[in-house]
Structure 1
Amino acid sequence: MTDGFTEIVHKILQRSDVHVDAIPSLDLYIDQIITLLDQELGNNKRNEKDKILTKTMVNNYSKQGILKPIKGKKYSKDHIIQMLIIYSLKNTLSIEEIKRILQPIYKLSDENNVDLSHIYDHYLELKEDKKEVMAVAIDTILRDEKLNLARDEDRLVMVLCLCALSEFSKSVAQELIDQYYPIK
């Protein structure tokens, strides 16, 4: 890869995740959760002023039914995991798509003690394993001999190709949602 692009890919590969063992077992107020996620996921921000999570977001997630209702004013570890799952999905999927996926899982977790922390840990493990696969795919595009990344036109082609990879992945996810979580 060209040095500048190598640095970009390396930076993205270094983005943080919040692992289940980093989440306190004590119930937390929303301000404490916002602080925790900002500290743990701060290097995922594109701009310093970006917000990982806000009170408004949490209220909207609750109203939309993608975050289980709380008892009192504190959120449990399970709620924090729900917020992390939503955070992982929201930049790609619509709230309605997220709702279609999560509501059956929440129902299962209520009825059969399905452990969200296990699901989230499994996701993080797969995500970590597949980072290199994505880096190789990006490297393959960068190494295309028809691209000269010193040229604006070819950098545009690169951005278009990267967006196409993203769109392809999003379309596959949406097809899975449509197949396994049909609109009722």
Structure 2
Amino acid sequence: LNYMTRQHIGLESGETLTSAMVNNYIKKELLPRAKGKRYERQHIAYLTAICLFKQVLSVDSTKELLNKQLSDLDIKSFYEKYCAKLDSAYDSVADKIDEDMKEQEICELVLELAISSYAQKIACESLLKLLV
């Protein structure tokens, strides 16, 4: 649980992952059961993706996305693809930010990013419905 807080931007600011949440993910079959109480690398990969997806998608949609992704890939390959796409998304946003931005430019970028986030969330939900 402590590792996940360090792994994801945003979790350190109050959005915590609890053992009850992990148990719920196991019950809903988003996450494989640990052997005993020992979590392995695959569990970290799953939890890393789940923590990000739950910021945008429902638990059911997250399960559907993971099932579809993992139908063609093993967890290691999925995680590598996930990390590459995450890095690309962060780079894309970082490219829009300039340390010399004026207050109005910052305000405009915040507006753009908020609207874009909403539009992408709606698109994700609509596209996931096509997969079901």
Note whether the superposition's TM-score is higher than 0.5. yes
The alpha-carbon distance between structure 1 residues 71 and 58, as it changes in their structure 2 partners (threshold 3 A), is same
Superposed CA offset, 1:136-168 (max 9, x none)? 4567xx78xxxx639xxx94x664433211011
Gaps of 5+ in 1: 1-33
For 2:124, the equivalent position in structure 1 comes to: 173
Gaps of 5+ in 2: none
* 2:49 is equivalent to residue 85 of structure 1: yes
**Match for residue 35 of structure 1?**
2
Tell me the alpha carbon deviations over residues 69-118 of structure 1, each in whole angstroms, 9 at most, x when there is no partner.
23322222212211111012110101110111223455x37xxxx42122
Instruction: Give 1:161's aligned amino acid.
Output: E
Contact map agreement 1:42 1:52 (CA 8 A) in 2: no
Identical-pair percentage: 25
> In 2, distance between residues paired with 1:167 and 1:67?
27
Per the alignment, do residues 166 and 116 of structure 1 end up closer, same or farther by CA in structure 2, a change over 3 Å counting?
same
Q: CA separation in 1, counterparts of 2:34 and 2:63?
A: 17
**What letter matches 1:125 in structure 2?**
A
Partner of 2:82: 123
Please tell me the root mean square deviation across aligned C-alpha atoms, in Å. 3.0
Question: What CA distance in whole angstroms lies between the structure 2 residues aligned with 1:67 and 1:102?
Answer: 10
Aligned mates of 2:51, 2:4 — CA distance in 1: 10
> TM-score w.r.t. structure 2 length?
0.75
Compute the TM-score of the two structures, normalised by the length of structure 1. Answer: 0.57
Alpha-carbon distance in structure 2 between the residues aligned to 1:63 and 1:116: 19
Tell me, yes or no, if the aligned pair for 2:26 and 2:33 is still in contact at 8 Å: yes
Rg larger in structure: 1
Partner of 1:149: 104
